[in-house]
Amino acid sequence: MNILLYRSDGQTSDWEAAFRAALPDAQVRTWIAGDAACDYAVIWAPPAELVARLQNVKAIFLMGAGVDAILKFGAALPPAPIIRLGDAGMGMQMAEYVTHAVLRYFRRFDDYERQARQGAWQPLPAHDKQDFTVGVLGLGQLGRSVIEALRPFGFPLRGWSRSPKTIAGVDCFDDLDAFLCGTRVLVCLLPLTPETNQLLDHARLSLLARGGVVINVARGAHIDDDALLALIRAGHLAGATLDVFRDEPPAPDHPYWGEPRVTITPHISALTLVPEAVRQIAAKMQALARGETVADMVDRTKGY
Ligand code: NDP
Ligand code: OXD
């Protein structure tokens, strides 16, 4: 078995070591320009030159859960199956991140952080939990993990997905506007597709409850940045916690950096854990080699 690795950040040495340990008989190497022949490519955010050289691979494995950075190549993609990571420790991390952010707003730590910087000692009225509806856009592997983590806290929960869902204790919507009306905390966990690109524009964000907050842990291009900032500055929204951006990192003069009601993290809400990812991918390679089917195949027509 011949495995080719590529990451846009160049950090492949731990992947090489983990694959050599998991599949001792495999030949494992990191891609250098001009190289190509392999059975399996394990990649993240590849350049066009690499994609063009993968026409004969048996399968492409992604080092993450999102598929936008590969599906953007459209007709230039090889016919081989594309297989994303399935959870691999990301569900728990996403649940931790989003739960932290929801509780921070609900218990007013954002207000207390601002007060403390001004030396102010001032207890504030508690928010009413029934006014703190959490709406999760995307009820896939990560959205469901977030819903389950929030469940014990007793927030009203709602969700929105492409196909209808029934989840105990969760109001599942197919009408997006109805979902947004009354949502106080909006969590975005959608894949980035032509349908979801710039989904959260001014009109839709305005439907959120007054004092609402946005937690975006999916992709920056889901949100109209100008609209989000305008609604925060106008006082309709209380703030945002953003882990993902249209350009990463955002430019030094991006207005998000200077907006105190925007909390920025550097795309860390659910990191790829290399040992877990390699265990999962190696097992899938072995299953494919035995002629079996594997989970987490990307559906190119749906775009995720
Ligand atoms: P899944 O593919 O498991 O779930 C996607 C969900 O979004 C599904 O419920 C799907 O609906 C829904 N959906 C897709 N398109 C639409 C649409 N047009 N309208 C309504 N609902 C839609 O993805 P994951 O949960 O694993 O991951 C979600 C995203 O999170 C990834 O695509 C990635 O961009 C991002 N991510 C971010 C990370 C970070 O560190 N910030 C880390 C990992 C992932 P249905 O159920 O009907 O198919
Ligand atoms: C992913 C990501 O999709 O890191 O895995 O965003």
Active site residue 7: no
Name which residue sits closest to atom 4 of ligand 2, judged by CA: 64
Ligand 2 binding pocket includes 143 (Cβ within 6 Å): no
Q: Look up the pTM and report it.
A: 0.98
Tell me the CA–centroid distance for residue 304 and ligand 1, in Å. 7
The answer to whether 138 touches 190, Cβ cutoff 8 Å, is yes
pLDDT in tens, 121-151: 999 999 999 999 999 999 999 999 999 999 9
Torsion angle (degrees, nearest 10) of CA 278, 280, 281, 284: 150
90-264 maps to CATH 3.40.50.800: no
Return per-residue pLDDT of the chain as tens, 304 residues: 999 999 999 999 999 999 999 999 999 999 999 887 899 999 999 999 999 999 999 999 999 999 999 999 999 999 999 999 999 999 999 999 999 999 999 999 999 999 999 999 999 999 999 999 999 999 999 999 999 999 999 999 999 999 999 999 999 999 999 999 999 999 999 999 999 999 999 999 999 999 999 999 999 999 999 999 999 999 999 999 999 999 999 999 999 999 999 999 999 999 999 999 999 999 999 999 999 999 999 999 999 9
- Ligand 2: atom nearest CA of 63 is 5
Tell me the CA–centroid distance for residue 114 and ligand 2, in Å. 31
pLDDT in tens, 213-272: 999 999 999 999 999 999 999 999 999 999 999 999 999 999 999 999 999 999 999 999
Q: Which two tokens stand for residue 16?
A: 């090489």
Q: Which two tokens stand for residue 30?
A: 């990191």
Q: Give the helix/strand (H/E) hosting 196.
A: none
CB atoms within 10 A of CB 114: 13
Instruction: Identify residue 126 by its one-letter amino acid code.
Output: A
Active site residue 184: no
Ligand 2 binding pocket includes 220 (Cβ within 6 Å): no
Laid out side by side, the sheet with 185-188 consists of 170-173, 157-160, 134-137, 185-188, 212-216, 237-242, 262-264
CATH T-level assignment (fold) for domain 2-88+272-289 = Rossmann fold (3.40.50)
Q: Which two tokens stand for residue 172?
A: 């599942």
Name which residue sits closest to atom 5 of ligand 2, judged by CA: 64
- Ordered by start, the domain boundaries in the chain are 2-88+272-289, 90-264
Name which residue sits closest to atom 3 of ligand 2, judged by CA: 66
Closest listed residue to residue 136, CA positions, set 173, 202, 186, 206: 186
| Active-site residue (options: 219, 233, 279, 290) | 219
Topology alike, domains 2-88+272-289 and 90-264: yes
